[in-house]
Chain A
Amino acid sequence: MMVTVRFFASYREKLNTRQLQVPLPRPGCRVSDLLEQLVASGGELWADVLARDNTVVAVNQVVCDLQRVIGEGDEVAFYPPVTGG
């Protein structure tokens, strides 16, 4: 079971990663589990960038919280607060 993970703006730059395909930690897992897995394999930099109160999470291009359950083929994005307009 794979998901696509995408990063934008300062997150994309700091992690030097635009997009990843990663296996889901386990069936029925939540965004928080995926985040934990990313931080565990990425190390301190990834924890610094992603584990912030104001990190925005979107699943399949809809903003949600870390409790959102994710599954096969989902697109999960992490990004900083938006600054358009």
Chain B
Amino acid sequence: MRNPDLVVSIQEEDFSAADLESDLLRAGGPATGACVAFTGYVRGANTGDAVSAMELEHYPGMTEKSIAAIAGEAFGRWPLGAVRVIHRVGRLLPGERIVYVGVAAAHRREAFAACEFIMDYLKTRAPFWKKETTDRGERWVEARSSDTSAAERW
């Protein structure tokens, strides 16, 4: 069996989903027949308030390790060719990309499932925290119980 091909990057810079997809297809090799990707963006409004900026904090070292562990779990559950996880940190503006999870696999079913699984686990386990700037000042985003239930179904 091929070794799982995983890249995790925590970065301030933006990324190109098109470039990442080319990289996934190359890394997945000739058996790749499906590529599923999710891109998350900064919302310009949250819980009724306009959001003018967002600051993302993380726990350097642990973040990379926890995402690698989540991806490792996905590799154990589904036959996957390659996985890419990019998460931005620092100051971001509405409409900017925050996160990318891309999965290459032989067939669509495992690619869809693994992409969603990695996102659900990332949201509830990877040590990132968002702070929003709104008209009413800055506030830390509260964790949502719907995210916890989404991760619990796997």
Contact = CB atoms under 8 A, between A and B. Distances in A.
Interface in A1-36: 6, 8-10
A30 to B, nearest CB: 20
Contacts, number: 73
B124 interface: yes
B128 A85 contact: yes
A77 B62 contact: yes
Interface bin, chain B = 20 to 34
Interface in B24-54: 40
Interface in B66-81: 66
Contacts of B111: none
Interface of A: 6, 8-10, 54, 56, 58, 61-63, 77, 79-85
Interface of B: 40, 56-59, 61-62, 65-66, 87, 98-99, 119, 122-131, 140-143, 147
